[in-house]
Chains A and B, each alone.
Chain A
Amino acid sequence: MTKPPKSRKSGGGGGAGPLLLFCAAAAVAGTVFDFTSESVAGFWIGAQPGGGAALGAGAAAFAVLAGYAARAFLARPPQQSQAKENRDAGADA
């Protein structure tokens, strides 16, 4: 009796793996170069070696938090939004 193939309940990340690899390689290469190069010191802490990584991490956290905050306070379903739009300024009906 042949065993039936496993059904995948969800398809998983798909492109997430290569993208994560791409980002990790860029981050590691950039950070390593930043720490090892003998370039002129940055004009403030954000421009110091490693500062870029911290900024990038903060930016990603901001983006995720923005997603939460926007969905919590500013979101409405598109159907409701469309119905509202049909009654708004400029409505020709």
Chain B
Amino acid sequence: MLALTLNPGFVPMIAALIVLAAPRGLSAPAIAGSALLALWLLLDYKFGAAAAMAQMGLPVVLLDLDALNRSFGIALLIALIVIGMYSGARRNRFEDAAILLLAGGAVSALFLGDLVSFVAAAALAGLAAAWVVFASPVEGANRAGVRLLMWHGLEGLLFLVGVAFHLSAGVQSAVIGRLDLGTFGGAFIFAALMIRVGAPLAHVWLKDAVSHASPVGAAALSAFSGVLGVYALARFFPGVPLLIPIGALMIVLGAFFASAEDDLRRAAAYGLTAQTGVSVALIGVGSPLALAGAEGNAFAAIFAFMTLQMALGNAHQHLGHARVSGFEGLARAMPITVVLVFVGGLAVASAPGLALFAAHTVALEATAQWDLRALWALIAAGSAVLFVGLTLRPIVAAYRTSPAKARGPIARVSEAPFSMLLGTVLAAFFCLAIGLAPRWLYDLMPTELSFQPYAPDRLAQQFEVLGASGVIYFILRAARAPKEQPVRLLDIDALYRGPLAGAGRWLGVVMLRVYGAGRDAIGGLSARVGAKIGALIGSFDRPYGGRGASLAHWLTVSFVLALMLLAQHL
């Protein structure tokens, strides 16, 4: 009897191929339908490894289900349903196929039980992410796609080297399990995952990709990109202390840029880096509560940032940008969108009643248990910085109106299409559902949690942090807050896109000139040598004429004499 066990992630991949050939109107239903089918498959399976086989002596485990990957899988597939709804307003089958491939790659990587297949699926997801950016109509998307391709190429290379080193220890090490950072294999895989989660120095790819993607693509990249890295870190490197400072730096870096960036889609991507940093640091803490907090944080962040990116995407769709400096008067033109930006902003700031609050309180409790004061303070303050940067700034700008702006182009902008609003509202609904009934999130965790996020002291503390940050922000804003200006901030990528790229171009020009000069010199030299040889050979034709002739004459006579002497000796 043929037993067919399908990895749920393969369903969106198959749907990606169908979408390329199907009528355009079927794309959105195909996305949502494939996600529903995959979700049904996922919930139908029992925990444990299934569908294992061997290829070239290596185990290939196509499905290995447990509580950890199941919860991530549920989150990603629900997110895909929401994105399917959101994508109905526009017709771009290439982007739809790319999103399905991205989601399929990420989901299948979660459930694969061997390292080689995991790396293959992660690389596929990376390539699909680049395709999402390439398929975007936003200006500069092609170049951003190339840069993203480079990042994922580097990540894939590190993965491959790591897996090769790791497999050299024996065939059985191909099965997914905890890795040792002290080995070459472990270190290379760790480095690859640092790129995936957007660790400091590698944090720029996400904001670059998101800001150049279409509204649908930005939501998909936010939902499906970094979360795979968090899952893999929780799977391979739980309790590695190095992850704590890395996560802390991600929080600081993300919070800094999220509160200063003018382009809100970039700012939201930085905010996602900060929240991913919380998960990374908690994986480094490694206690069961911290791991549950990391997983819950990643789970909730998917919905919170998807809501925010979708709401900002609504504005981007009509304005052509999502800059705070250009938001003035938006509340009149797009009132529903602005309310959704507010809800998304509150969700990413871990406001009580919304998705991230349920995980935020677990994170604070987990760090308090181990007396990690600095990390506790960073997590608590990080939510307040995101509240200021991603909630208060855009809303204050959107509700501000001046007579000039009231008659300007923004006044003629209408509300986003129905399907985009519906998708955003659905994402916001999931934020509210997780926030108001966190028990179902806790029940999905690998660790059994008897946690009360709405205990009065926890609730009061979060209100205190967010409320005080808001009040102080308004006071400082009234006093001397920086004016919102249409600027783009330099980050570490400015180094490789600026001086390093310039140095590369300069080096290329120098090398080309050196090559040209060398080629000219060799050409000239060979011409001169050729002329000399030609003259010499020509002189043999006229042995009794000119200066060269005497030389040829003597050479010929010497050669004949040498031959005669040789003959005499013989």
> Could you tell me which A residues sit within 8 Å of B by CB distance?
7-16, 19-20, 22-31, 33-34, 37, 39, 43-44, 46-47, 50, 52-64, 66-71, 74-78, 81-82, 84-92
Chain B residues 423-460 with CB under 8 Å of chain A are 456-457, 459-460
How many Å from the CB of A21 to the closest CB on chain B? Answer: 10
Partner of B468, one of A8, A11, A56, A75: A56
Complex Cα gap A74–B461 (Å)? 34
Asked if B150 lies at the interface with its beta carbon under 8 angstroms from chain A, I say yes
Q: Contacts A27-B463, A37-B460 known; A52 to B380 CB distance under 8 Å? A: yes
Q: Contacts A29-B463, A60-B468 known; A89 to B501 CB distance under 8 Å? A: yes
How many Å from the CB of A87 to the closest CB on chain B? Answer: 8
Complex Cα gap A66–B272 (Å)? 18
Q: Which residues of A contact B150 (CB under 8 A)?
A: 89-90
B473 with A52: CB separation less than 8 A: no
Stretch of B8-16, B162-170, B368-376, B519-527 contacting A (4+ beta carbons < 8 Å): B368-376
Stretch of B25-33, B178-186, B382-390 contacting A (4+ beta carbons < 8 Å): B382-390
Complex Cα gap A87–B147 (Å)? 13
Contact with A along B110-147 (1 / 0, CB 8 A): 00000000000000000000000000000110111011
How many Å from the CB of A40 to the closest CB on chain B? Answer: 8
Complex Cα gap A55–B486 (Å)? 30
Can you list 14 A-B contacts with CB-CB less than 8 angstroms, sorted by A residue number? Answer: A8-B403, A16-B396, A29-B467, A37-B460, A55-B380, A55-B384, A56-B465, A57-B472, A60-B471, A62-B385, A63-B255, A67-B481, A70-B257, A81-B488
A47 with B488: CB separation less than 8 A: no
Q: Contacts A15-B331, A64-B482 known; A33 to B460 CB distance under 8 Å? A: yes
Contact with A along B226-261 (1 / 0, CB 8 A): 000000000000000000000000000001110111
B388 with A63: CB separation less than 8 A: yes
Asked if B470 lies at the interface with its beta carbon under 8 angstroms from chain A, I say yes
Inter-chain contact total with CB atoms closer than 8 Å: 256
Q: Contacts A81-B488, A85-B497 known; A19 to B380 CB distance under 8 Å? A: no
Partner of A27, one of B376, B467, B481, B487: B467
Q: Which residues of A contact B54 (CB under 8 A)?
A: none
Asked if B401 lies at the interface with its beta carbon under 8 angstroms from chain A, I say yes
B388 nearest in chain A by CB position: A63
Q: Which residues of A contact B259 (CB under 8 A)?
A: 62-64, 66-67
A16 with B474: CB separation less than 8 A: yes
A60 with B476: CB separation less than 8 A: yes
Partner of A82, one of B140, B255, B382: B140
Asked if B466 lies at the interface with its beta carbon under 8 angstroms from chain A, I say yes
Q: Which residues of A contact B490 (CB under 8 A)?
A: 74-76
B146 with A30: CB separation less than 8 A: no
A46 with B377: CB separation less than 8 A: yes
Partner of A56, one of B147, B368, B472, B481: B472
